[in-house]
Chains A and B, each alone.
Chain A
Amino acid sequence: MSLILDNIDLVVGGATHIEGVNLELKPGSFNVLLGRTLAGKTTLMRLMAGLDRPSRGRVLMEGRDVTGVSVRHRNVSMVYQQFINYPGLSVYDNIASPLRLARVDRAEIDRRVRQTAELLHIEHLLERSPLELSGGQQQRTAMGRALVKDADVILFDEPLVNLDYKLREELREELRTLFDERRCIAVYATTEPAEALALGGNTAVLHEGRLLQYGRTEDVYHRPASRSSAEMFSEPPINMIRGLISGSEISFDRRVAFPLSDDLRSLPPGEYHFGVRPSHISLQPRDDDDLAVEVSVELAEISGSETFLHVANDLFAMVVHLSGVHEFDVDQRITIHFPIHKVYAFDRHGDVVHIPSHLGGL
């Protein structure tokens, strides 16, 4: 079962929500929709499910045009960000309801409900009402209802956002293993690049209703097709510095100039945006061709055992991702080093023109 979105537009009341999305999801694939809030992740999922109808374009399932087919007659299931269960029914009946409606016989329903509950570790809660459960258990119930019915497409709309950190990691892990054995298409929406990387599979980067890039998650991460794609798929966002290549030099705002490294030498002279990942910048030089830049500290955010250092000089502002807890004074002058052979270059239109050679080049 494959799912194809063919040139989909969605316009609601004059506002374009989705524009020209082409996407082909392969059978048995795990797909992450990555994008900020309002990027159109939920909207796209609703179009895939058949809850909304596209203004233009077609939705094909296994080659069959299902654009106008209502959600009741498509074999899909969906898990929402909110914990959505039927409060009047027990956990057992909640999970069993899709099967009951499909007129599966009782023994089979019982077997499958218990099997699904066991997978999700809620087998001891089956007789309870969903409202008596914790958030994580409620979401597991909702997942159980989505998983029990052998859907062709399972949609997860940021299902773990409302859960605490520990539980989120745990459920994400389980979710991934659950899908390894299935032949259905899974689609998982998230705002967090780290979550997309943890889930693997394929990633589609969305921004303002457009599909920026789709491919294997590592490929999309390592080889962004455009500046916005790189910015979306990087946490904290990738640092962008405007620079000029002329002859054998690279200069930033015509004041600081460095000799060009070998792999950047192929670029024609002109203005570019250079992307540097925050984690590639360090306080000590790691390589001979690292560029040393004098900056002053604006803010040091400590998150867990990591430090996000916001630095700036009069040319640019950057974020440096350091592992470990580091303390800095505001306005402290430090020298940062960034590896010139790990930078991306994007042209004036935002298209990628240079990918570091250790990632395969362009």
Chain B
Amino acid sequence: MSDSLPTTPEAVRRRAAAMAAKRRRQARPAVRQWRRTGLMTAYIFFVLLPIYWLLNMSFQSNSEILGALTLWPSDFTLEHYAKIFTDANWYMGYVNSITYVLMNMLISIVVALPAAYAFSRFKFIGDKHLFFWLLTNLMAPPAVFLLPYFQLYYTVGLFDTHVAVALAHCLFNIPLAVWILEGFMSSVPKEIDETAFIDGYSFPHFFVKIFIPMIRSGIGVTLFFLFMFSWVELLLASTLTSTGAQPIGSVMTQTKGASGIDWGALSAAGVLTILPGIVVVYFVRNHIAKGFALGRT
């Protein structure tokens, strides 16, 4: 109704008044600008506050952390970082985590590339069901699979190895990778494949020389997601390891010393755990939106 043209003089006046009011509202950009900036600042403040607090604590001595409220380190110290980089218990946590994360990324991408290609290019019986079934693996909480994995790995002697965690993380990472890559691959026209075969490329040659370069941003985004999910997963990683392949997250939960919890070291470890994620995000920042849309843009 409001879109139709006014017909009575009364309605014309009302509409003119409304339009004028709208113009006046729009003529106050400064106010709108302030509102926008204010909301954004408040949002960022609340998001970054815990991270700032973590950073703050990591540079404070334990007595300062437990003492009065301080907004920035009054007694700046790097001792917690020094401790982490010198104590094998601490830094081996990082080494273990990175080891199984990299192994998992490698396994997942190598398995997912051909699988995603098949899903994107071929029709076969049950392809849609299989694809959906892969996705359901992402929906089940990892805790469901905890017991079978633990029992199985213990029996076959994989318990407390990096491979064990890397394989366990494939449970959710391979479906994820297949899903993301399938989207990117489907946006490459099938005619490219055919042209390559007409030109005389063999399949592996085509796949490596032509196809993979065409979806390299997709592979980058996929690797990012693989890294992220494997890096933050703690339940499987800590249960399937004891000392030999203990992840950093697990190390952090076991820092109770004789003098209680080492808050400073814990904070420093937390900061160092966030860092790799930030570095990886920086590299894929231009493609990440497309990644969240799973290549289907």
Report A-chain residues with C-beta under 8 Å of the C-beta of B201: 72, 97, 101
Q: Which of A55-63, A76-84, A289-297 contacts B (4 or more CB under 8 A)?
A: A76-84
Q: When A86-B210, A88-B213 are in contact, do A76 and B191 touch as well, CB less than 8 Å? A: no
Over the window 83-114 of chain A, the binary record of Cβ atoms lying under 8 Å from chain B Cβ atoms (1 yes, 0 no) is: 01011110000000110011000000000000
A82 touches B198 (CB 8 A): no
Q: What is the CA–CA distance of A49 and B191 in the complex, to the nearest angstrom?
A: 13
Q: Does A277 contact B (CB under 8 A)?
A: no
Number of interface residues of B (CB under 8 A): 15
User: Which of B192, B194, B198 lies in contact with A86, CB distance below 8 A?
Assistant: B192
Of residues B194, B198, B210, B213, which shows the largest number of chain A Cβ atoms within 10 Å of its Cβ? B198
Report B-chain residues with C-beta under 8 Å of the C-beta of A80: 191, 195
User: Which of B191, B202, B213 lies in contact with A84, CB distance below 8 A?
Assistant: B191
Q: When A98-B199, A101-B201, A145-B199 are in contact, do A82 and B213 touch as well, CB less than 8 Å? A: no
User: Which of B194, B200, B213 lies in contact with A101, CB distance below 8 A?
Assistant: B200
Q: Sort chain A's interface into a size bin.
A: 20 to 34
Q: What is the CA–CA distance of A80 and B201 in the complex, to the nearest angstrom?
A: 18
Q: Does A126 contact B (CB under 8 A)?
A: no
Q: What is the CA–CA distance of A331 and B278 in the complex, to the nearest angstrom?
A: 73
Q: What is the CA–CA distance of A231 and B118 in the complex, to the nearest angstrom?
A: 42
Over the window 97-108 of chain B, the binary record of Cβ atoms lying under 8 Å from chain A Cβ atoms (1 yes, 0 no) is: 000000000000
A87 touches B197 (CB 8 A): no
Report A-chain residues with C-beta under 8 Å of the C-beta of B204: none
Of residues 176 through 208 on chain B, the ones whose CB sits less than 8 Å from some CB of chain A are: 189, 191-192, 194-202
Report B-chain residues with C-beta under 8 Å of the C-beta of A171: none
Q: How far is the CB of A269 from chain B (nearest CB, A)?
A: 54
Chain A's closest residue to B195 (CB) is: A84
User: Which of B189, B196, B200, B202 lies in contact with A82, CB distance below 8 A?
Assistant: B189
Q: Does B135 contact A (CB under 8 A)?
A: no
Q: What is the CA–CA distance of A355 and B182 in the complex, to the nearest angstrom?
A: 56
Q: Does B167 contact A (CB under 8 A)?
A: no
Over the window 27-68 of chain B, the binary record of Cβ atoms lying under 8 Å from chain A Cβ atoms (1 yes, 0 no) is: 000000000000000000000000000000000000000000
Closest 10 A/B residue pairs (Cβ): A101-B200, A88-B213, A98-B199, A84-B191, A80-B191, A84-B195, A71-B197, A86-B210, A72-B197, A78-B198
Interface residues in chain B, defined as those with a beta carbon under 8 Å from any beta carbon in chain A: 189, 191-192, 194-202, 210, 213-214
